Amino acid sequence: MQTTVTVYLFGKPYQVPSDLTIMCAMEYAGYQLVRGCGCRNGFCGACATIYRIQGQKELKTCLACQTKVEEGMYIATLPFFPLVKEVYDINTVNATEAVMMQLYPEIYACIGCNACTKSCTQSLNVMQYIAYAQRGEFDKCAEESFDCVMCGVCSSRCPAGISHPQVAMLARRINGKYLAPKSTHLEDRVEEIQTGSFRELIEALMNKPIDEMKELYNTRNIET
């Protein structure tokens, strides 16, 4: 017989199979997920969720598509969190520490509570990447924040009102545009595509039967 657990979705109790993720448990309980559901694979950050296990003090955070249900879970999803998103032109930003002071000055009000890191659904060292941003070390900030899915949970817990995912996004853009070495092989390939070097090859491919196309795809060389 299938084991079940009791979970509370938005305050209402449901018996659900114990091997389901929170996201599947919501669907099992009859919720139709219009918001708060995207890739279902831990990449898009649409399914940020907060929960507390009955009888425990700690408020936990997770991605609903990646986390199994547990007995006594009180669950609320957070399909959107209102981050501060400044508008700028990456082609004209001043790629120095001053840009953070100008666009996201609240990062200098960080009190070091580490709530952002503790709540990160990706287990990133969020406070550390904000420290890198404060010092204008955009390459380090970009590296440390690389797996951010922008779910916004860190910002929901921040007493200084920092929009960590947007700060990290700016650092990654600066890094990509001004600091990281140019990817010349990529530029060459784009140029080849634009000048039509592959047109015949692509047309020949497009005219193949679908099964042959699938076979070619499944047996392709994968660069590692």
Q: Is 116 in the site for ligand FES (CB under 6 A)?
A: no
38 binds ligand FES (CB under 6 A): yes
Is residue 47 within the footprint of ligand FES (CB under 6 A)?
yes
- d(CA 120, CA 136) in angstroms, rounded, equals 22
Examine residue 22 and tell whether it contacts ligand FES (CB under 6 A): no
* Smallest distance from ligand FES to CB 142, Å: 21
Pick the closer one to ligand FES by CB: 148 or 171: 148
Q: Does 79 bind ligand FES (CB under 6 A)?
A: no
Q: State yes or no: residue 180 binds ligand FES (CB under 6 A).
A: no
Q: Report the distance separating Cα 132 and Cα 126, nearest Å.
A: 10
Strand ranges across the sheet with 12-17 = 12-17, 4-9, 73-77, 48-53, 60-63
Pair 17, 3: CB distance under 8 Å? yes
Instruction: Look up tokens 């853009």; give the residue.
Output: 173
Q: Is 50 in the site for ligand FES (CB under 6 A)?
A: no
> Would you count residue 63 as binding ligand FES (CB under 6 A)?
yes
Cα gap 11→47, rounded to integer Å: 18
In whole angstroms, give the CA distance from residue 86 to residue 205: 43
Q: Give the 3-state secondary structure of 183-203.
A: CHHHHHHHHHHHCCCCHHHHH
- Using the rule CB under 6 A, is 25 a contact of ligand FES? no
User: Among residues 108 and 146, whose Cβ is nearest to ligand FES?
Assistant: 146
Binding of ligand FES by 148 (CB under 6 A): no
CA distance 131 to 190: 36
Q: Is 160 in the site for ligand FES (CB under 6 A)?
A: no
**Nearer CB in complex with ligand FES: 45/165:** 45
Shortest distance in whole angstroms from residue 101 CB to ligand FES: 32
The single residue among 65, 75, 120, 171 that binds ligand FES, judged by CB under 6 A, is: 65
Q: Does 42 bind ligand FES (CB under 6 A)?
A: yes
Between strands 73-77 and 60-63, the pairing is: unpaired
Q: How far is the CB of 26 from ligand FES (least distance, A)?
A: 12
